[in-house]
Amino acid sequence: MATPSAGSAAPRSRAGRRPSPSRLLFFAVFLGIPLLIYIIFVVSPFLQAFYYSMTNWRGVSANMDFIGLENYRRIFADPTYLKALTNNLILLLVLPTITITLAFALAVMVTIGGDSRGEILGIKGSNVYRVVSFFPYVLPAVVIGILFAFIYSPYGGLLNGLLNIPIRLLNALGVDIAPVGLAWLGEEKLALGAIVAAVVWSLVGFYMVLFVAAIKAIPSEMIEAARLDGCGRLRMAVQVVLPQIRENVSTAVVYVGIMALDMFVYISVMTPSGGTDKSTEVVSRYLYETAFSRSQFGLASAMGVVLALVTMLMAVIVLFGTRRKDDA
C-alpha cells in the first residue's frame, strides 16, 4: 500500500479552512440579526429595568439618584408586596396543576377513552368536544374577566341564580331558607379561587388540543401492545401516554406558570383594587399601581426584576427537572 511521501503536502483539514464570504453572510443574516434583535428588545430592557431598580427615578424626569439596593429592601418590607408575591406563588402551584390535569384528562378521553374493543377511538362526539372546548381560548382575557364578573355578581349573577333554584323549590314547599347572595369576588376566602376557575375555563381547551395532537403522534403499535397486555385506561394514560408526551406537558406547564405569575388582566378586570384586604393582589397589578399611580418607577422596576427572576427560575426548574436521565 502506497504511503504519502514526507515531502507531500498534507490535505488541509476542514477546521483549518477559512469560512467563505457566503458562509459569513449566512451566519450574519440568520444568526447575527436575530441575536441582535433579541439583545435589543429582550436583554437590553431587562438590564435597563435592573439599573432603574437601583435608582429613585420617578418616571417624569431625567434626573435620578443611584440608591443601590434600597428599593429591594423596601419591597421586601412592604406587606402588600409580600401578599401579592405570595398570591402569585399560590397561583403558580394551583393554576398549572388544575389546568394541565384537566387538559390531559380530556385529551385522553377524546383520543383513547372510547370502547376498549376494536379500533382505538375516543368517546362518542369527541370531535365536537374538541372544537367546543377551544372556543373560550379565542376570547380576549378582558372579555372573559368581564363575563365572569357578571357571573359572580351577588345581585342577579348566574352562579347565585343557579344555586338559588333548589332553594326556591324548597321555599315553594314551605321550607324557609334564605337565598344565596354570595359576593364571590368580594369574599376574601373565595375571590382568588373564583378567578382561578375563570382562568382554567379559558385555558383548558387550548392545552387539551395541544395534548390531543401529541397523543395522535404516539405510534399506534405502542397503544395496542399496552391494551393487549391488559392495561386499563387510567394506567395507559399515566404509564404509557404521559411519558411519551412529557416534553409537551413540561412546555405547557411553563406557559401556564408564566400566566400564573402575570394575571394582570384578570385581576385588573375582576378585582380592580386587588380585592378585599388585597386578597387577590398580584405583583403585576401592584407594580402598575406603584409606577403609574404613585410615580415610583424605580420601586416598580425592582418589583419587575424580582418577578422576572422568579419566572426564569420556574422555567429552569420545570424544563430541566422533567428531563430524562438519558436526555442529559
Residue 193: its pLDDT value, please?
A: 94
First-to-last alpha carbon distance for the chain, in angstroms, is 44
* 135: three-class secondary structure by DSSP: helix
Closest residue by Cα to residue 281 from 298, 292, 268: 268
Name the one residue in this structure whose C-alpha cell is 415610583.
296
DSSP secondary structure of 233-279? HHHHIIIIIHHHTHHHHHHHHHHHHHHHTT-HHHHHHHSTTSSGGGT
DSSP H stretches of helix in 113-173: 126-134, 141-151, 158-172
Residue 12 lies in a domain: no
How is 27-59 classified by DSSP, letter by letter?
HIIIIIHHHHHHIIIIIHHHHHHHHHTTB---S
Cβ neighbours around 259 below 10 Å, total: 19
**SS3 assignment for 175-207:** CCCCCCCCCCCCCCCCHHHHHHHHHHHHHHHHH
Rounded Cα–Cα distance for residues 167 and 274 (Å): 32
Residue by residue, DSSP assigns 7-22 as TSPPPPPTTTSPPPHH
**CA nearest neighbour of 195 among 254, 260, 291:** 260
Establish if 296 belongs to a structural domain.
yes
Cβ neighbours, 10 Å, residue 146: 13
Considering its fold, how many domains does the chain have in total? Answer: 1
Q: Which residues pair with 66 in a beta bridge?
A: 55
* Residue 1 within a domain: no
Burial of 286 per CB tally in 10 Å (0-12, 13-18, 19+): buried
Name the residue range of residue 84's domain.
27-155+183-327
The radius of gyration of the chain's CA atoms, rounded to the nearest angstrom, is: 28
The answer as to whether 232 is a domain residue is: yes
- Confidence at residue 114, expressed as pLDDT on a 0 to 100 scale: 62
Grouping H, G, I as helix, E, B as strand and the rest as coil, residue 190 is: coil
Write down the pTM of the prediction. 0.85
**Residue 64 forms part of a structural domain:** yes
Instruction: Write down the pLDDT at residue 219.
Output: 85
**pLDDT per residue of the chain (328 residues) written in tens, 0 to 9:** 455 554 445 555 555 567 787 777 877 778 888 888 999 998 899 899 999 999 999 888 788 899 999 999 999 999 999 999 999 999 999 999 999 999 999 998 888 876 656 556 667 766 777 778 888 888 999 999 999 999 999 888 889 888 888 888 887 887 778 777 888 999 899 999 999 999 999 999 999 999 998 988 888 888 888 877 777 778 888 888 899 999 999 999 999 999 999 999 999 999 998 988 999 999 999 999 999 999 999 999 999 999 999 999 999 999 888 776 555 5
Tell me which residue of 257, 298, 284, 267 sits closest to 72, measured CA to CA.
298
Asked whether residue 4 is assigned to any structural domain, the reply reads no
Name every residue whose Cβ is closer than 8 Å to that of residue 4 and which is 6 or more positions away in sequence.
10
SS3 313: helix
Backbone φ, ψ for residue 264 (5° rounding): -60, -50
C-alpha cell at 8: 507531500
Handedness of CA 19, 20, 23, 27 (dihedral sign): positive
pLDDT for the residue 81: 96
Q: Check which CATH number belongs to the domain holding 198 and give it.
A: 1.10.3720.10
Give the separation between CA 60 and CA 85, rounded to whole angstroms.
27
Q: Does a structural domain hold residue 171?
A: no
Q: Is residue 151 part of a domain?
A: yes
Residue that is written with C-alpha cell 407594580 in the block: 287
